[in-house]
Amino acid sequence: MPNVADGKAATAPAQHGLGRKSEEGKLFGSFPGQVDRLILDIDGVLVDPSSSYYAVGRKLLSREGATLSDEDIAAFKWAGGFNDDWDLARAALGVFRYRQRSGDMRPLSALLTPDAGLPCVLQLVGGDDPGDLSAECERLYAHIAHEEITLVEASLLGQVAARLPLYACTGRTREQTLAAFAAFGLSPQAFVSCETVKKPNPNALLPLLEGSRFALFVGDSWDDCLTSMHAQALTSTQLHFFWCLPAGASAAEVQQRLGRGGQGACIGLEALLWKLLQP
């Protein structure tokens, strides 16, 4: 279970000058005036996956002398089709083996076809595919899941939950989803996990929009944004997608994300939650 932020009363984020620190907690872009439910991705939004999911991928690759850098992870996530971290680990190991055998050292971004996901990588690497790694990944994850760190204070999320129903659209399993919310002392009104359907399939989001007029979905990947755009085309709900970017993201990165999709961006979930608490 993730480590819970301390129980001190939440206070509004401080305003800073320019520079990397000033980007933390900042909200970019337009904000919808009416929201009747908040739908959250979990990894990269509520919980930092670097010490769990990404650590599992790194451990698997390290057994063969390979590395999985932050830049590699970003390349997979930004290409699309790698919302499942076990698929990402499989693709990364397959690409490493392929490069070792073929000598093809093109940048990872040149090897990934946008939105094509794992099937395209498997076609590229052929016999270098390590096969389904989900069982091994789950075994490794079980030993380090408790090391996950939450990205927002429980008290702040609780204040928002008292005003708006919380939902989850995630690539986690049902058990992992409930554990992530339990770390904040909360339960989602409803959620769609990976056992049901995987993003960017719009059916990962559509059941969570039933009965809503104005919904806000917060995610951190291109697959999240695609899910939102696909779902919006199939529903009368006014659906707004906000990028949740890591601390240290630059204004240029924010503009790049917004140029590809979504209505706005925040550096960390905190700024968005404070906005939702305003009268």
Furthest CA-CA distance within the chain: 60
Contact 247, 24 (CB under 8 A): yes
- Specify the long-range contacts of residues 134-143, CB closer than 8 Å, at least 24 apart: 134/86, 136/60, 137/56, 137/57, 137/60, 137/85, 137/86, 137/89, 138/86, 140/56, 140/59, 140/60, 141/52, 141/53, 141/56
Cα–Cα distance, 208 to 193 (Å, whole number): 11
Report pLDDT for 19. 31
Predicted confidence pLDDT, tens digits, the chain (279 residues): 443 333 233 333 333 222 334 455 789 988 888 899 999 999 999 999 999 999 999 999 999 999 999 999 999 999 999 989 999 999 999 999 999 999 999 999 999 999 999 999 999 999 999 999 999 999 999 999 888 999 999 999 999 999 999 999 999 999 999 999 999 999 999 999 999 999 999 999 999 999 999 999 999 999 999 999 999 999 999 999 999 998 888 888 899 899 999 999 999 999 999 999 988
Tokens of 224: 């999240």
CA separation, residue 36 to residues 51, 157, 177 (Å): 33, 16, 22
Report pLDDT for 10. 34
Contact 208, 39 (CB under 8 A): yes
Q: Where are the beta strands (DSSP E) in 143-197?
A: 149-150, 166-169, 190-192
Report pLDDT for 26. 86
Does this model's pTM top 0.85?
yes
CA separation, residue 171 to residues 42, 112, 132, 199 (Å): 8, 21, 16, 7
The DSSP call for residue 190 is E
